[in-house]
Every structure is written in C-alpha cells, then in structure tokens.
C-alpha cells in the first residue's frame, strides 16, 4: 500500500495507548501483518543515530519551518547518540513517484468507485485532485517502469536506514493554509515531505515543536525504519517534552 492512516491525539503517550489496540491480527483487516510492536518506553534513546534535513529538494520550506526543524534537531542532540544533517539520496523524486504510483489510470478507478456508491457530485478539491492524476496516466509498460523506479527508491532508503535509526524533517513546506488552497500546485507539492515515507513504507510520527508568527502550529516529522513505530514515538515524546519545558528554544 502507498500509505496507511494512523491515529491522532493530543499527546504522544495517547498515541501509544491507541496503537496497542490497532496492532496485531484481528481476522478482519487483511492489511495487518503479525509483526512485533515495541514499547516506546523501552527504546534506548541514548543509543539512537538520528539524521535530519530541512529541504527535500522539491519545495523549500519557509524560514519558520526550517528554523523549527533545525532547533528540534539541536535539542535532540543531547538526548541521543548522534544527530547529523543528512538527506536521503533521491528523495527529490518523492512527489513525482507517488503521483505516478497512485494515478496510472488517470483517476479512472476513483471515478468508477464514486459512480458505484452513487456519488454524482464531486467536491472541487477532489476534482482538482483528479485533474492532477490525469497527468500521470500511463500504460502497462510505463507503470512497469514506475515500479522499477520505486524499487530503486526503496533500495536507497534501505541503505540510508542502515546508517540511521530515525530522521527528522518538516511535515510540509509551510504551516496550515486557508481552506481550499491545499490543491494549488506549489502548496500541494510541499506535502511531498510525507510522501517519501509513504513510498518506502516507513512509520512516521508528527509532533508540534513550534508556532508561527501567525499563531499556527509547526510540526516536526520523525520517521523510523520499518516496523519501528516505537522508535518514532520515543523520539516524538522527547521532542514533545522539550517543547513543553523549553518553548524559548524551539518556539518561533
């Protein structure tokens, strides 16, 4: 799957409480596989190697977002084994590759689904989304090439994961935008910071680490290696505690 929806909560500890109910085979959800889910409280945070980057090469974040991510990395440096500014190779392909993987039919599958459920009125935001998918329409040979590109993408991320236990980055290129603007191309491409981990299947957590001059929350994304939700949540909790105790450090 290209992505998996996760829980949202006020505090990191609440996320872990919910995760306990979500993991494991239940005989109903075929997408759940029987893998261990570690306890974030048992993660040896002091031994973790962490990378961070503030620009994915697709859309440069605004100054406030870059500042918050860099400050969060600095705050984390005293809590873990190492923090290094390092960007995974090839993640500047994230946006184009994700769009190709979900839109090889130009959105026809989604249109057929809407017809099947009797939905005849399409919201303007969804219509704009379908328009974007139209540019990704391809044939079998083109889709095979895209799958080969995805395999290469995942290979590079796997190699990066052998060097680091987690990576910090922006969640998006800017704080929240007015309703209806999210599909504007410049803004929408800024969501590619999450698309990277959709493509490689890594777990990621987001925690608020700062506030913009307009009073909007600025989050930091923590991605970890496959099946290491416990690592992502453990680091998220450290950053959350730091933001609570030292707002002057990472509050814009």
- Cα 131 to chain centroid distance, Å, stands at 23
Q: Which fold has domain 12-90+154-250?
A: Amidase signature (AS) enzymes (3.90.1300)
pLDDT in tens, 29-74: 787 778 888 999 999 999 999 999 999 999 999 999 999 999 999 9
What are 142-172's pLDDT values in tens digits? 999 999 999 999 999 999 999 999 999 999 9
| pLDDT of res. 33 | 79
pTM: 0.91
pLDDT in tens, 64-91: 999 999 999 999 999 999 999 999 999 9
Average pLDDT, the chain: 91
Count H helices and E strands in the chain, helices first: 10, 5
CA distances from residue 104 to 13, 107, 128, 136 in whole angstroms, order as listed: 39, 8, 16, 5
pLDDT of amino acid 20: 81
Q: Is residue 223 predicted with pLDDT exceeding 90?
A: yes
Residue 36 neighbours by CB under 8 Å, 6+ apart? 227
* Beta-bridge mates of residue 178: none
Calculate mean pLDDT across residues 2-22. Answer: 85
Residue spans of the domains in the chain: they are 12-90+154-250
């Amino acid at each position: 799957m290209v992505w998996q929806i996760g829980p949202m909560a006020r505090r990191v500890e609440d996320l872990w409480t919910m995760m306990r109910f979500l993991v494991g085979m239940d005989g109903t959800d075929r997408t759940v596989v029987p893998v261990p889910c570690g306890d974030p409280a048992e993660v040896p945070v002091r031994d973790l190697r962490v990378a961070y980057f503030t620009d994915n090469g697709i859309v440069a974040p605004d100054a406030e977002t870059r500042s918050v991510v860099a400050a969060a990395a600095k705050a984390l440096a005293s809590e873990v084994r190492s923090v290094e500014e390092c960007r995974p190779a090839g993640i500047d392909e994230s946006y184009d590759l994700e769009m190709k993987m979900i839109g090889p039919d130009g959105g026809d599958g989604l249109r057929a689904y809407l017809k099947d459920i009797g939905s005849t009125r399409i919201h303007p935001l969804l219509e704009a989304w379908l328009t974007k998918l139209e540019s990704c329409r391809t044939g079998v040979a083109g889709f095979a090439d895209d799958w080969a590109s995805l395999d290469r993408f995942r290979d590079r991320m796997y190699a990066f994961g052998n060097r680091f236990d987690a990576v910090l980055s922006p969640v998006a290129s800017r704080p929240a935008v007015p309703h209806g603007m999210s599909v504007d191309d410049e803004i929408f491409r800024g969501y590619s910071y999450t698309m990277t981990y959709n493509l490689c299947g890594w777990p990621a957590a987001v925690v608020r680490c700062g506030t913009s001059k307009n009073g909007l929350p600025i989050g930091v994304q923590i991605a970890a290696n496959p099946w290491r939700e416990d690592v992502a949540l453990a680091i998220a909790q450290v950053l959350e505690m730091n933001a609570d105790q030292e707002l002057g450090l990472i509050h814009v």
